[in-house]
Amino acid sequence: MALTYAVLCMVSVFVAGATATQLMKWQLFRHRDREIHGVYALIAGTYNGGTTTDLVSTLDAYVQETLGHSWLFIAVGPGGSVLGGNVHALALEIPQGWSSVDGGRLGLNSGTRYRLYSGIVHGKVRLVVGMKFRQLGYMGRLVQTSFEWAFVVAVLLAIVGGSLIAHRMQRRFDAVRETMDRVSRGELGARVPLSGRNDDIERLSEDLNSALDRLADSVESMQQVSADIAHDLKTPLSRLKMTVAEALEKQESALSVADELQSAAAEVDQINRTFDALLRIAQIEAGARKASFKPVDLSDMLELLDEIYREVASDAGQRLLVALPPEGGAGVLGDRELLMQMFSNLIENSIRHCPAGSTIRCSATLYNDSVWVAVTDNGPGIPESEHERVLRRFYRLDKSRTSGGTGLGLSLVKAVADLHDAELRLESVYPGLMVTVIFGRRTPAAA
Ligand SMILES: Nc1ncnc2c1ncn2[C@@H]1O[C@H](COP(=O)(O)OP(=O)(O)OP(=O)(O)O)[C@@H](O)[C@H]1O
Ligand SMILES: [Mg+2]
Protein backbone atom coordinates (compact mmCIF):
# COMPACT_ATOMS: atom_id res chain seq x y z
CA MET A 1 0.00 0.00 0.00
CA ALA A 2 2.81 2.37 1.00
CA LEU A 3 4.56 1.61 -2.29
CA THR A 4 1.38 2.28 -4.27
CA TYR A 5 0.92 5.64 -2.55
CA ALA A 6 4.58 6.52 -3.12
CA VAL A 7 4.31 5.80 -6.83
CA LEU A 8 0.99 7.67 -7.02
CA CYS A 9 2.54 10.67 -5.29
CA MET A 10 5.52 10.68 -7.70
CA VAL A 11 3.26 10.37 -10.72
CA SER A 12 1.12 13.31 -9.49
CA VAL A 13 4.12 15.58 -8.97
CA PHE A 14 5.44 14.59 -12.41
CA VAL A 15 2.13 15.21 -14.18
CA ALA A 16 1.64 18.55 -12.37
CA GLY A 17 5.17 19.66 -13.29
CA ALA A 18 4.90 18.60 -16.92
CA THR A 19 1.51 20.27 -17.29
CA ALA A 20 2.73 23.55 -15.76
CA THR A 21 5.85 23.61 -17.95
CA GLN A 22 3.84 22.83 -21.05
CA LEU A 23 1.30 25.54 -20.30
CA MET A 24 4.07 28.08 -19.77
CA LYS A 25 5.75 27.08 -23.06
CA TRP A 26 2.52 27.43 -24.92
CA GLN A 27 1.92 30.90 -23.47
CA LEU A 28 5.45 32.02 -24.39
CA PHE A 29 5.07 30.74 -27.94
CA ARG A 30 1.80 32.55 -28.37
CA HIS A 31 3.31 35.74 -27.04
CA ARG A 32 6.32 35.45 -29.41
CA ASP A 33 4.10 34.78 -32.44
CA ARG A 34 2.05 37.87 -31.60
CA GLU A 35 5.25 39.89 -31.35
CA ILE A 36 6.51 38.67 -34.76
CA HIS A 37 3.18 39.33 -36.41
CA GLY A 38 3.07 42.81 -34.85
CA VAL A 39 6.41 43.76 -36.44
CA TYR A 40 5.33 42.22 -39.76
CA ALA A 41 2.11 44.26 -39.76
CA LEU A 42 4.00 47.44 -38.92
CA ILE A 43 6.44 47.05 -41.79
CA ALA A 44 3.74 45.90 -44.22
CA GLY A 45 1.68 48.98 -43.28
CA THR A 46 4.33 51.25 -44.81
CA TYR A 47 3.69 49.88 -48.31
CA ASN A 48 0.60 51.00 -50.19
CA GLY A 49 1.18 49.11 -53.45
CA GLY A 50 3.00 52.03 -55.13
CA THR A 51 6.57 52.97 -54.33
CA THR A 52 8.58 50.75 -51.91
CA THR A 53 10.74 53.56 -50.45
CA ASP A 54 8.90 53.75 -47.11
CA LEU A 55 8.92 50.03 -46.71
CA VAL A 56 12.65 49.77 -47.41
CA SER A 57 13.51 52.58 -44.96
CA THR A 58 11.41 51.03 -42.18
CA LEU A 59 13.00 47.69 -42.90
CA ASP A 60 16.47 49.27 -42.70
CA ALA A 61 15.59 50.93 -39.40
CA TYR A 62 14.63 47.54 -37.91
CA VAL A 63 17.77 45.91 -39.30
CA GLN A 64 19.89 48.67 -37.76
CA GLU A 65 18.38 48.07 -34.36
CA THR A 66 18.80 44.33 -34.46
CA LEU A 67 21.80 42.91 -32.62
CA GLY A 68 23.30 39.86 -34.29
CA HIS A 69 20.54 37.88 -35.88
CA SER A 70 17.98 37.80 -33.10
CA TRP A 71 15.43 39.14 -35.62
CA LEU A 72 15.36 38.35 -39.35
CA PHE A 73 13.89 40.49 -42.11
CA ILE A 74 13.67 39.87 -45.85
CA ALA A 75 11.70 41.85 -48.42
CA VAL A 76 11.56 40.84 -52.10
CA GLY A 77 10.19 43.27 -54.64
CA PRO A 78 7.62 42.70 -57.39
CA GLY A 79 10.29 41.84 -59.93
CA GLY A 80 12.04 39.31 -57.66
CA SER A 81 14.71 41.77 -56.55
CA VAL A 82 15.74 41.79 -52.90
CA LEU A 83 14.62 45.13 -51.45
CA GLY A 84 16.34 44.75 -48.07
CA GLY A 85 16.78 42.77 -44.89
CA ASN A 86 19.56 41.15 -42.93
CA VAL A 87 19.51 37.69 -44.43
CA HIS A 88 20.05 37.00 -48.08
CA ALA A 89 18.74 33.54 -48.44
CA LEU A 90 16.13 32.44 -50.85
CA ALA A 91 13.09 34.06 -49.38
CA LEU A 92 10.89 32.30 -51.93
CA GLU A 93 11.77 28.92 -50.49
CA ILE A 94 10.17 29.94 -47.23
CA PRO A 95 6.55 28.76 -47.15
CA GLN A 96 3.70 31.20 -46.76
CA GLY A 97 2.48 31.87 -43.23
CA TRP A 98 4.15 30.45 -40.11
CA SER A 99 7.17 28.18 -40.27
CA SER A 100 10.15 27.15 -38.17
CA VAL A 101 13.50 26.71 -39.91
CA ASP A 102 17.07 25.93 -38.96
CA GLY A 103 19.59 28.80 -39.18
CA GLY A 104 21.76 26.69 -41.56
CA ARG A 105 19.14 26.88 -44.29
CA LEU A 106 19.27 30.67 -44.12
CA GLY A 107 23.07 30.85 -44.25
CA LEU A 108 23.28 31.49 -40.50
CA ASN A 109 24.46 29.37 -37.56
CA SER A 110 23.01 25.93 -37.95
CA GLY A 111 21.59 24.59 -34.71
CA THR A 112 19.74 27.82 -33.99
CA ARG A 113 16.12 27.68 -34.94
CA TYR A 114 14.00 30.56 -36.17
CA ARG A 115 10.31 31.20 -36.14
CA LEU A 116 9.25 32.96 -39.35
CA TYR A 117 6.16 34.66 -40.69
CA SER A 118 6.02 35.14 -44.43
CA GLY A 119 3.37 36.98 -46.42
CA ILE A 120 2.79 38.93 -49.63
CA VAL A 121 1.92 42.60 -49.20
CA HIS A 122 -0.49 44.09 -51.78
CA GLY A 123 0.16 41.07 -54.01
CA LYS A 124 3.58 42.43 -54.89
CA VAL A 125 6.13 42.51 -52.08
CA ARG A 126 7.07 39.40 -50.30
CA LEU A 127 7.87 40.16 -46.65
CA VAL A 128 9.38 37.71 -44.13
CA VAL A 129 9.83 38.56 -40.45
CA GLY A 130 11.46 36.04 -38.09
CA MET A 131 12.77 35.67 -34.59
CA LYS A 132 15.32 33.44 -32.92
CA PHE A 133 13.75 30.52 -31.07
CA ARG A 134 14.20 31.60 -27.49
CA GLN A 135 13.42 28.39 -25.72
CA LEU A 136 11.53 28.87 -22.49
CA GLY A 137 13.13 31.98 -21.21
CA TYR A 138 14.28 32.59 -17.65
CA MET A 139 10.89 32.08 -15.94
CA GLY A 140 10.23 28.90 -17.84
CA ARG A 141 13.60 27.45 -16.87
CA LEU A 142 12.97 28.40 -13.23
CA VAL A 143 9.64 26.63 -13.23
CA GLN A 144 11.13 23.59 -14.91
CA THR A 145 14.04 23.39 -12.46
CA SER A 146 11.73 23.79 -9.46
CA PHE A 147 9.60 20.98 -10.66
CA GLU A 148 12.60 18.79 -11.29
CA TRP A 149 13.76 19.36 -7.73
CA ALA A 150 10.23 18.90 -6.40
CA PHE A 151 10.15 15.58 -8.20
CA VAL A 152 13.44 14.46 -6.65
CA VAL A 153 12.23 15.51 -3.17
CA ALA A 154 8.89 13.76 -3.73
CA VAL A 155 10.67 10.56 -4.74
CA LEU A 156 12.87 10.69 -1.63
CA LEU A 157 9.96 11.51 0.66
CA ALA A 158 7.83 8.81 -0.91
CA ILE A 159 10.55 6.19 -0.44
CA VAL A 160 11.48 7.18 3.13
CA GLY A 161 7.93 8.04 4.29
CA GLY A 162 6.43 5.05 2.52
CA SER A 163 8.80 2.58 4.08
CA LEU A 164 8.34 4.17 7.53
CA ILE A 165 4.56 3.89 7.24
CA ALA A 166 4.83 0.36 5.88
CA HIS A 167 7.10 -0.62 8.74
CA ARG A 168 4.77 0.80 11.39
CA MET A 169 1.68 -0.79 9.81
CA GLN A 170 3.49 -4.10 9.60
CA ARG A 171 4.36 -3.92 13.31
CA ARG A 172 0.75 -3.26 14.24
CA PHE A 173 -0.59 -6.03 12.02
CA ASP A 174 2.02 -8.36 13.49
CA ALA A 175 0.63 -7.56 16.95
CA VAL A 176 -2.88 -8.50 15.74
CA ARG A 177 -1.60 -11.72 14.21
CA GLU A 178 0.36 -12.62 17.31
CA THR A 179 -2.75 -12.11 19.46
CA MET A 180 -4.89 -14.30 17.21
CA ASP A 181 -2.15 -16.90 17.32
CA ARG A 182 -2.17 -16.88 21.12
CA VAL A 183 -5.97 -17.14 21.19
CA SER A 184 -5.92 -20.07 18.79
CA ARG A 185 -3.45 -21.78 21.11
CA GLY A 186 -6.06 -21.54 23.88
CA GLU A 187 -4.96 -18.35 25.60
CA LEU A 188 -8.41 -16.78 25.69
CA GLY A 189 -7.27 -13.80 27.77
CA ALA A 190 -4.97 -12.45 25.02
CA ARG A 191 -6.01 -9.06 23.61
CA VAL A 192 -4.66 -6.90 20.77
CA PRO A 193 -2.61 -4.04 22.31
CA LEU A 194 -4.24 -0.66 21.61
CA SER A 195 -2.14 2.30 20.49
CA GLY A 196 -4.61 5.06 21.39
CA ARG A 197 -4.57 6.38 17.81
CA ASN A 198 -7.85 7.08 16.08
CA ASP A 199 -7.51 5.04 12.88
CA ASP A 200 -8.83 1.99 11.09
CA ILE A 201 -6.37 -0.46 12.61
CA GLU A 202 -7.30 0.81 16.07
CA ARG A 203 -11.01 0.32 15.36
CA LEU A 204 -10.35 -3.13 13.92
CA SER A 205 -8.34 -4.00 17.06
CA GLU A 206 -11.16 -2.76 19.30
CA ASP A 207 -13.69 -4.84 17.37
CA LEU A 208 -11.43 -7.89 17.60
CA ASN A 209 -11.00 -7.33 21.33
CA SER A 210 -14.71 -7.07 21.99
CA ALA A 211 -15.30 -10.19 19.87
CA LEU A 212 -12.64 -11.94 21.99
CA ASP A 213 -14.36 -10.66 25.17
CA ARG A 214 -17.62 -12.22 24.03
CA LEU A 215 -15.87 -15.45 23.05
CA ALA A 216 -14.16 -15.67 26.44
CA ASP A 217 -17.48 -14.91 28.16
CA SER A 218 -19.37 -17.60 26.32
CA VAL A 219 -16.62 -20.17 26.82
CA GLU A 220 -16.60 -19.32 30.52
CA SER A 221 -20.39 -19.50 30.84
CA MET A 222 -20.37 -22.82 28.96
CA GLN A 223 -17.88 -24.20 31.43
CA GLN A 224 -19.94 -22.74 34.27
CA VAL A 225 -23.11 -24.32 32.90
CA SER A 226 -21.53 -27.76 32.59
CA ALA A 227 -20.25 -27.52 36.15
CA ASP A 228 -23.67 -26.31 37.36
CA ILE A 229 -25.53 -29.11 35.56
CA ALA A 230 -23.20 -31.73 36.98
CA HIS A 231 -23.52 -30.24 40.44
CA ASP A 232 -27.26 -29.83 40.32
CA LEU A 233 -28.00 -33.31 39.05
CA LYS A 234 -25.85 -34.93 41.71
CA THR A 235 -28.49 -34.47 44.44
CA PRO A 236 -31.50 -35.94 42.61
CA LEU A 237 -29.33 -38.77 41.26
CA SER A 238 -28.04 -39.70 44.69
CA ARG A 239 -31.58 -39.48 46.05
CA LEU A 240 -32.63 -41.82 43.24
CA LYS A 241 -29.83 -44.20 44.10
CA MET A 242 -30.86 -44.24 47.75
CA THR A 243 -34.49 -44.93 46.82
CA VAL A 244 -33.42 -47.81 44.60
CA ALA A 245 -31.21 -49.20 47.40
CA GLU A 246 -34.15 -49.00 49.81
CA ALA A 247 -36.36 -50.77 47.30
CA LEU A 248 -33.81 -53.56 46.88
CA GLU A 249 -33.58 -53.99 50.65
CA LYS A 250 -37.37 -54.13 51.00
CA GLN A 251 -37.61 -56.62 48.17
CA GLU A 252 -35.23 -58.98 49.98
CA SER A 253 -37.62 -58.95 52.91
CA ALA A 254 -40.47 -59.57 50.40
CA LEU A 255 -42.09 -56.20 51.22
CA SER A 256 -43.96 -54.01 48.71
CA VAL A 257 -41.71 -51.59 46.83
CA ALA A 258 -44.50 -49.57 45.17
CA ASP A 259 -43.76 -46.39 47.21
CA GLU A 260 -40.08 -46.46 46.30
CA LEU A 261 -40.85 -47.00 42.63
CA GLN A 262 -43.26 -44.09 42.71
CA SER A 263 -40.79 -41.70 44.27
CA ALA A 264 -38.09 -42.94 41.86
CA ALA A 265 -40.44 -42.12 38.97
CA ALA A 266 -41.09 -38.65 40.44
CA GLU A 267 -37.37 -38.04 40.77
CA VAL A 268 -36.79 -39.07 37.17
CA ASP A 269 -39.61 -36.73 36.09
CA GLN A 270 -37.95 -33.87 37.89
CA ILE A 271 -34.60 -34.63 36.23
CA ASN A 272 -36.41 -34.73 32.90
CA ARG A 273 -38.01 -31.35 33.55
CA THR A 274 -34.61 -29.90 34.35
CA PHE A 275 -33.21 -31.15 31.06
CA ASP A 276 -36.23 -29.90 29.15
CA ALA A 277 -35.82 -26.45 30.66
CA LEU A 278 -32.09 -26.45 29.89
CA LEU A 279 -32.68 -27.47 26.30
CA ARG A 280 -35.39 -24.85 25.96
CA ILE A 281 -33.08 -22.10 27.19
CA ALA A 282 -30.33 -23.29 24.83
CA GLN A 283 -32.82 -23.28 21.97
CA ILE A 284 -34.00 -19.75 22.81
CA GLU A 285 -30.41 -18.54 23.06
CA ALA A 286 -29.69 -19.96 19.61
CA GLY A 287 -32.17 -17.33 18.33
CA ALA A 288 -33.88 -19.42 15.62
CA ARG A 289 -37.35 -18.42 16.83
CA LYS A 290 -36.66 -14.80 15.97
CA ALA A 291 -37.57 -15.59 12.37
CA SER A 292 -41.20 -16.27 13.29
CA PHE A 293 -41.79 -13.11 15.37
CA LYS A 294 -45.29 -11.65 15.05
CA PRO A 295 -47.02 -8.66 16.63
CA VAL A 296 -48.19 -9.60 20.14
CA ASP A 297 -50.54 -7.52 22.31
CA LEU A 298 -49.07 -7.52 25.83
CA SER A 299 -52.26 -6.03 27.32
CA ASP A 300 -54.21 -9.07 26.13
CA MET A 301 -51.50 -11.33 27.46
CA LEU A 302 -51.52 -9.78 30.93
CA GLU A 303 -55.32 -10.07 31.05
CA LEU A 304 -55.02 -13.75 30.23
CA LEU A 305 -52.34 -14.24 32.89
CA ASP A 306 -54.61 -12.45 35.38
CA GLU A 307 -57.33 -15.02 34.67
CA ILE A 308 -54.92 -17.94 35.00
CA TYR A 309 -53.09 -16.88 38.16
CA ARG A 310 -55.75 -15.00 40.18
CA GLU A 311 -57.05 -18.27 41.65
CA VAL A 312 -53.57 -19.68 42.26
CA ALA A 313 -52.54 -16.52 44.09
CA SER A 314 -55.66 -16.39 46.23
CA ASP A 315 -55.17 -20.09 47.10
CA ALA A 316 -51.75 -19.05 48.42
CA GLY A 317 -53.40 -16.22 50.37
CA GLN A 318 -52.03 -13.57 48.00
CA ARG A 319 -53.51 -10.84 45.81
CA LEU A 320 -52.79 -10.41 42.11
CA LEU A 321 -53.49 -6.97 40.61
CA VAL A 322 -53.10 -6.18 36.91
CA ALA A 323 -52.88 -2.61 35.54
CA LEU A 324 -53.05 -2.01 31.80
CA PRO A 325 -52.47 1.18 29.80
CA PRO A 326 -55.88 2.85 29.35
CA GLU A 327 -55.08 3.74 25.75
CA GLY A 328 -54.24 0.08 24.92
CA GLY A 329 -51.78 -0.63 22.14
CA ALA A 330 -49.03 -2.37 24.10
CA GLY A 331 -48.01 -4.28 21.00
CA VAL A 332 -44.52 -5.67 20.44
CA LEU A 333 -42.96 -7.93 17.85
CA GLY A 334 -42.24 -11.29 19.43
CA ASP A 335 -42.95 -14.95 20.08
CA ARG A 336 -46.28 -15.21 21.88
CA GLU A 337 -45.58 -18.55 23.54
CA LEU A 338 -42.17 -17.51 24.88
CA LEU A 339 -43.46 -14.14 26.14
CA MET A 340 -46.30 -15.94 27.91
CA GLN A 341 -43.80 -18.32 29.50
CA MET A 342 -41.58 -15.39 30.57
CA PHE A 343 -44.34 -13.49 32.38
CA SER A 344 -45.71 -16.75 33.86
CA ASN A 345 -42.28 -17.45 35.34
CA LEU A 346 -42.16 -13.99 36.92
CA ILE A 347 -45.67 -14.27 38.42
CA GLU A 348 -45.00 -17.84 39.59
CA ASN A 349 -41.80 -16.66 41.28
CA SER A 350 -43.70 -14.03 43.22
CA ILE A 351 -46.36 -16.56 44.21
CA ARG A 352 -43.78 -19.15 45.19
CA HIS A 353 -41.23 -16.98 46.96
CA CYS A 354 -43.58 -14.53 48.76
CA PRO A 355 -45.48 -15.39 51.95
CA ALA A 356 -49.27 -15.37 52.33
CA GLY A 357 -50.71 -11.86 52.51
CA SER A 358 -48.41 -10.47 49.80
CA THR A 359 -49.63 -8.42 46.88
CA ILE A 360 -48.38 -9.02 43.35
CA ARG A 361 -48.80 -6.24 40.80
CA CYS A 362 -48.45 -6.65 37.03
CA SER A 363 -48.45 -3.52 34.94
CA ALA A 364 -47.87 -2.51 31.34
CA THR A 365 -46.93 1.11 30.64
CA LEU A 366 -46.22 2.94 27.39
CA TYR A 367 -43.34 5.42 27.27
CA ASN A 368 -42.87 7.10 23.91
CA ASP A 369 -42.06 4.16 21.67
CA SER A 370 -41.31 1.61 24.37
CA VAL A 371 -43.43 -0.76 26.42
CA TRP A 372 -42.50 -1.41 30.06
CA VAL A 373 -43.94 -4.50 31.73
CA ALA A 374 -43.29 -4.78 35.48
CA VAL A 375 -44.03 -7.59 37.94
CA THR A 376 -43.73 -6.24 41.49
CA ASP A 377 -44.31 -7.96 44.82
CA ASN A 378 -43.88 -6.99 48.46
CA GLY A 379 -42.29 -10.26 49.54
CA PRO A 380 -38.76 -10.89 50.87
CA GLY A 381 -37.10 -9.70 47.64
CA ILE A 382 -33.60 -10.56 46.42
CA PRO A 383 -30.55 -8.81 47.93
CA GLU A 384 -29.03 -6.40 45.38
CA SER A 385 -25.72 -8.29 45.41
CA GLU A 386 -27.56 -11.37 44.07
CA HIS A 387 -29.47 -9.64 41.26
CA GLU A 388 -26.95 -10.70 38.61
CA ARG A 389 -26.43 -14.17 39.95
CA VAL A 390 -30.09 -15.23 40.15
CA LEU A 391 -30.17 -14.97 36.34
CA ARG A 392 -27.61 -17.77 36.09
CA ARG A 393 -28.77 -21.30 35.52
CA PHE A 394 -29.58 -23.26 38.72
CA TYR A 395 -28.85 -20.31 40.96
CA ARG A 396 -31.26 -20.11 43.89
CA LEU A 397 -31.05 -18.14 47.11
CA ASP A 398 -30.18 -20.35 50.08
CA LYS A 399 -33.63 -19.98 51.57
CA SER A 400 -35.23 -21.26 48.36
CA ARG A 401 -33.18 -24.47 48.16
CA THR A 402 -36.04 -26.45 49.63
CA SER A 403 -38.77 -24.82 47.55
CA GLY A 404 -38.61 -27.49 44.84
CA GLY A 405 -37.78 -25.20 41.90
CA THR A 406 -34.98 -25.90 39.48
CA GLY A 407 -33.44 -22.42 39.54
CA LEU A 408 -33.91 -22.13 35.77
CA GLY A 409 -36.96 -19.85 35.77
CA LEU A 410 -35.10 -16.53 35.70
CA SER A 411 -32.48 -17.88 33.25
CA LEU A 412 -35.31 -18.51 30.83
CA VAL A 413 -36.72 -15.02 31.50
CA LYS A 414 -33.32 -13.56 30.68
CA ALA A 415 -33.00 -15.67 27.50
CA VAL A 416 -36.47 -14.62 26.28
CA ALA A 417 -35.79 -10.94 27.06
CA ASP A 418 -32.49 -11.10 25.16
CA LEU A 419 -34.17 -12.79 22.21
CA HIS A 420 -36.61 -9.85 22.03
CA ASP A 421 -33.82 -7.28 22.48
CA ALA A 422 -35.64 -6.24 25.63
CA GLU A 423 -33.90 -4.92 28.72
CA LEU A 424 -34.39 -6.94 31.92
CA ARG A 425 -34.14 -5.00 35.20
CA LEU A 426 -34.26 -6.39 38.72
CA GLU A 427 -34.80 -3.78 41.43
CA SER A 428 -35.38 -3.97 45.16
CA VAL A 429 -38.47 -2.05 46.26
CA TYR A 430 -38.22 -2.54 50.07
CA PRO A 431 -39.98 -4.69 50.73
CA GLY A 432 -40.08 -6.82 47.66
CA LEU A 433 -38.80 -7.25 44.16
CA MET A 434 -39.65 -5.43 40.97
CA VAL A 435 -38.75 -7.10 37.69
CA THR A 436 -39.15 -4.85 34.62
CA VAL A 437 -38.94 -5.92 30.99
CA ILE A 438 -38.48 -2.98 28.62
CA PHE A 439 -39.33 -3.52 24.96
CA GLY A 440 -37.64 -0.83 22.91
CA ARG A 441 -39.94 -0.77 19.91
CA ARG A 442 -43.70 -0.71 20.01
CA THR A 443 -45.69 -2.10 17.08
CA PRO A 444 -49.37 -1.90 16.29
CA ALA A 445 -51.02 -4.70 18.33
CA ALA A 446 -52.04 -7.89 16.57
CA ALA A 447 -55.52 -7.88 15.14
N1 LIG B 1 -40.21 -12.67 43.51
C2 LIG B 1 -39.18 -13.18 44.19
N3 LIG B 1 -39.03 -12.90 45.51
C4 LIG B 1 -37.98 -13.40 46.18
N5 LIG B 1 -37.03 -14.19 45.66
C6 LIG B 1 -37.15 -14.52 44.39
C7 LIG B 1 -38.19 -14.01 43.57
N8 LIG B 1 -38.02 -14.50 42.32
C9 LIG B 1 -36.91 -15.25 42.35
N10 LIG B 1 -36.37 -15.27 43.58
C11 LIG B 1 -35.13 -15.96 44.00
O12 LIG B 1 -34.35 -16.17 42.81
C13 LIG B 1 -34.07 -17.55 42.68
C14 LIG B 1 -34.01 -17.92 41.22
O15 LIG B 1 -35.30 -17.85 40.62
P16 LIG B 1 -35.70 -18.84 39.50
O17 LIG B 1 -37.05 -18.49 39.00
O18 LIG B 1 -34.59 -18.83 38.51
O19 LIG B 1 -35.68 -20.26 40.18
P20 LIG B 1 -36.80 -20.95 41.07
O21 LIG B 1 -37.99 -20.09 41.10
O22 LIG B 1 -36.15 -21.29 42.34
O23 LIG B 1 -37.05 -22.27 40.26
P24 LIG B 1 -37.88 -22.46 38.90
O25 LIG B 1 -36.86 -22.91 37.91
O26 LIG B 1 -38.87 -23.52 39.15
O27 LIG B 1 -38.47 -21.14 38.55
C28 LIG B 1 -35.17 -18.24 43.40
O29 LIG B 1 -34.71 -19.51 43.87
C30 LIG B 1 -35.41 -17.30 44.57
O31 LIG B 1 -34.47 -17.53 45.61
MG1 LIG C 1 -38.90 -19.47 39.34
User: Which CATH architecture best describes the domain 2-137?
Assistant: 2-Layer Sandwich (3.30)
- Specify which of 109-113, 157-161, 258-262, 440-444 reaches the highest per-range mean pLDDT: 258-262
Ligand 1, atom 26, residue with closest C-alpha: 405
* pLDDT of res. 442: 81
Ligand 1 pocket, residue 325 CB under 6 Å: no
Beta bridge partners of 433: 377, 428
Whether ligand 1 lies within 6 angstroms of the CB of 58 is answered as no
Do 126 and 118 contact (CB within 8 A), yes or no?
Answer: yes
Q: Give the pLDDT confidence of 282-328 residue by residue, as tens digits.
A: 899 888 889 999 999 999 999 999 999 999 999 999 999 999 998 88
Q: Whose CA is nearest to atom 20 of ligand 1?
A: 407
**Class level of CATH domain 288-439:** alpha beta
* Contacts for 248 with CB less than 8 Å, ≥ 6 apart: none
Flag the least confident range among 32-41, 84-93, 316-325, 409-418: 84-93
Atom of ligand 1 nearest to the CA of 435: 1
Residues lining ion ligand 2 (Cβ < 5 A) are 349, 409
- Whether pLDDT at 175 is above 80: yes
How far apart CA 171 and CA 160 sit, in angstroms, is 17
Q: Pick the most confident of 106-120, 225-239, 258-272.
A: 258-272
Q: Is the pTM of this model over 0.85?
A: no
In what helix (H) or strand (E) does residue 36 lie, and over which residues does it extend? helix 2-44
Q: Is any ligand 1 atom within 6 A of the Cβ of residue 432? A: no
Cα(165) to centroid(ligand 1), Å:
58
pLDDT band at residue 135 using 50, 70 and 90 as cut-offs: low
Rounded CA-CA distance 375/426 in Å is: 10
Spatial distance between the Cα atoms of 83 and 73, rounded to a whole number of angstroms: 10
Task: Tell me what pLDDT residue 91 has.
Answer: 58
Q: Where are the domains of the chain?
A: 2-137, 200-286, 288-439
Task: Give the distance (Å) from ligand 1 centre to CA of residue 332.
Answer: 26
Could you tell me the end-to-end alpha-carbon distance of the chain, in angstroms, rounded to an integer? Answer: 58
- Relative to beta strand 370-377, strand 433-439 is antiparallel
Cβ-based neighbour number of residue 40 at 10 Å: 20
- Ligand lying nearest the CA atom of residue 390: 1
Q: Can you tell me the distance from the alpha carbon of 191 to that of 210, in angstroms, rounded to the nearest whole number? A: 9
- Looking at residue 447, its pLDDT comes to 41
Query: Of the segments 144-158, 201-215, 398-412, which one has the largest average pLDDT value?
Result: 201-215
- Residue 379 and residue 447 in contact, taking contact as beta carbons nearer than 8 Å: no
- Strands 370-377, 359-367: parallel, antiparallel or unpaired by DSSP? antiparallel
Mind listing the pLDDT tens digit for each residue in 370-387? Answer: 999 999 999 999 999 999
Query: Does the beta carbon of 405 lie inside 6 Å of ligand 1?
Result: yes
Above 50 in pLDDT, residue 97?
A: yes
Q: Flag whether pLDDT at 58 surpasses 50.
A: yes
Ligand having the closest approach to the CA of 392:
1
Cα–Cα dist 100/178, whole Å: 69
Tell whether domain 200-286 is in CATH 1.10.3470.
Answer: no
pLDDT at 89: 62
pLDDT at 228 over 90: no
Measured from the CB, is residue 353 less than 6 Å from ligand 1? yes
Share of the chain above pLDDT 90, in %: 53
